[in-house]
């Protein structure tokens, strides 16, 4: 199954996702955290899906349920789409049959109330596809990638203000370095930009639309070699906002989030003082600030950030923290002050790679790629002076 793993060479996506990660021995206690309540809500067992935390993230639907995907498992072994009540009752909404998609990468709620997503493999050329899923569980394949227009699509597509969906592919295109695509709700697929190394290569995460109407994202490699932050107009004009150099971060693999201050916040997989990843801020014009370097004891290989209603950023690290090294949940201020909220122990989840979501009940929900009772991943809830339905 597709996994995000620490590796020392970019290499191919398929090699990246299966490379082994070295565990880091951690002996220092995390910083004191505010009172919170953690609940492991669902443990996947293979039959209902497996590995829900490898880039897919949860989204709250108009029905109040949380929707997401598991990259593997299900009756055909090719992944599932699921919905879950805030209390933790999980229902499989759709089981992928491999030909209609394999290894789904998350869903986005469209303005029509349906869910739009990608699968890493599958489709007419086995290069991945884009699908629509109704709340009732009916799936429609909208478009297939064929290598020339991209291959191995990432994450969930972003619906822009023009009503179309935008996203990235890790590979494919003229130089096999990935693309940015546009998809209409009717299924018309076009390429917005083909990466060329100079302006970035191998985007591992999707794009977000800024308040200025442009698309913002990151690439795992390219530029000087350690990845870039880019701005892209919907018509395809690209600007490199920052070229990573290693000490300030390296190999970003997560989506950006635009803060209430108008700036973009993100993380890197490697780099920083201990090469354990970083959190950074970049302005729409390219002014870069390193906010935090992870050190292992507070986690390493951070995931996508989200800004909560309290103004702080919340996120996860896939590894490190505590004595088990199974990952963390953290809170960070806009100035970069970070506190660990939870250390995973394996039985309650392991390797949380995806973003958190704040439900309308003010609780935080997320997924882990591994751990739980069957080792196939979990869905968890966390409250920080807030409420999670019992």
Residue whose C-alpha is closest to residue 376's, from 342, 346, 355: 346
- Rounded to a whole number, what is the distance in angstroms from the first to the last CA of the chain? 33
Residue whose C-alpha is closest to residue 155's, from 208, 196, 195: 208
Query: How far apart, in whole angstroms, are the C-alpha atoms of residue 148 and residue 348?
Result: 42
User: What angle is formed at CA 88 by the lines to CA 116 and CA 389, rounded to 5 degrees?
Assistant: 110
Ranges of the chain with pLDDT below 50:
1-2, 6-33, 386-390
pLDDT at position 250 is 97
Strand partners, 264: 258, 282
Query: How far apart, in whole angstroms, are the C-alpha atoms of residue 186 and residue 42?
Result: 34
Computed over every residue of the chain, the mean pLDDT equals: 89
83: phi then psi, degrees, rounded to nearest 5: -125, 150
Which residue reads 């339905």 in tokens? Answer: 389
pLDDT at position 32 is 46
Strand, helix or coil for residue 16: helix
379: phi then psi, degrees, rounded to nearest 5: -115, 135
pLDDT at position 255 is 95
> Which burial class, exposed, middle or buried, applies to 309 when counting CB atoms under 10 A from its CB (0-12, 13-18, 19+)?
exposed
C-beta of residue 108 within 8 angstroms of C-beta of residue 116: yes
Task: Give the total residue count for the chain.
Answer: 390
C-beta of residue 130 within 8 angstroms of C-beta of residue 107: no
| Sheet arrangement for strand 80-84 | 59-60, 66-70, 80-84, 90-95
C-beta of residue 110 within 8 angstroms of C-beta of residue 159: yes
Query: How far apart, in whole angstroms, are the C-alpha atoms of residue 181 and residue 165?
Result: 8
pLDDT tens by residue, 17-63:
433 333 333 333 344 445 579 999 999 999 999 999 766 689 999 99
Residue 262 has a CB neighbour count (10 Å cut-off) of 11
Strand, helix or coil for residue 74: coil
DSSP state letter for 163: S
pLDDT at position 55 is 64
Tokens of 242: 């920052």
Stretch (H or E) spanning 17: helix 13-18
C-beta of residue 69 within 8 angstroms of C-beta of residue 103: no
């Amino acid at each position: 199954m597709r996994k995000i793993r620490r590796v020392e060479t970019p290499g191919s996506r398929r090699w990246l996702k299966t490379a082994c990660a070295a565990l880091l021995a951690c002996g220092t206690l995390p910083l004191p955290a505010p009172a919170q309540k953690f609940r492991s809500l669902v443990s996947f067992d293979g039959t209902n899906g497996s590995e829900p935390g490898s880039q897919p993230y949860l989204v709250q639907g108009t029905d109040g349920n949380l929707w997401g995907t598991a990259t593997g498992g299900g009756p055909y072994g090719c992944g599932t789409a699921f919905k879950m009540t805030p209390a933790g009752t999980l229902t499989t909404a759709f089981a992928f049959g491999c030909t209609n998609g394999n290894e789904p990468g998350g869903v986005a709620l469209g303005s029509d109330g349906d869910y739009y997503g990608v699968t890493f493999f599958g489709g007419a050329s086995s290069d991945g596809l884009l699908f629509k899923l109704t709340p009732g569980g009916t799936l429609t394949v909208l478009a297939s990638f064929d290598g020339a227009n991209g291959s191995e699509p990432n994450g969930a597509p972003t619906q822009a203000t023009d009503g179309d969906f935008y996203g990235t592919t890790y590979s494919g295109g003229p130089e096999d370095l990935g693309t940015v695509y546009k998809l209409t709700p009717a299924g018309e697929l076009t390429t917005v930009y083909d990466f060329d190394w100079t302006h970035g290569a191998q985007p591992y995460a999707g794009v977000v639309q800024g308040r200025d109407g442009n698309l913002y994202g990151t690439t795992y490699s390219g530029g000087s070699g350690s990845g870039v932050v880019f701005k892209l107009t919907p018509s395809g004009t690209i600007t490199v906002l920052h070229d990573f150099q290693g000490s300030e971060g390296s190999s970003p693999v997560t989506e950006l989030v635009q803060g209430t201050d108008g700036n973009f916040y993100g993380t890197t997989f490697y780099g920083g003082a201990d090469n354990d990843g970083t959190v950074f801020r970049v302005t729409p014009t390219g002014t870069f600030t390193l906010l935090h370097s992870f050190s292992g004891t507070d986690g390493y290989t951070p995931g996508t950030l989200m800004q909560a209603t309290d103004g702080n950023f919340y996120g996860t690290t896939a590894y490190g923290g505590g004595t088990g090294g199974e990952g963390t949940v953290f809170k960070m201020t806009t100035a970069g002050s970070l506190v660990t909220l939870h250390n995973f122990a394996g039985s309650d989840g392991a390797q949380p790679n995806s973003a958190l979501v704040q439900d309308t009940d003010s609780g935080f929900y997320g997924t882990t790629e591994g751990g739980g009772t069957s080792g196939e991943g979990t869905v968890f809830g966390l409250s920080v002076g807030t409420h999670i339905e019992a």
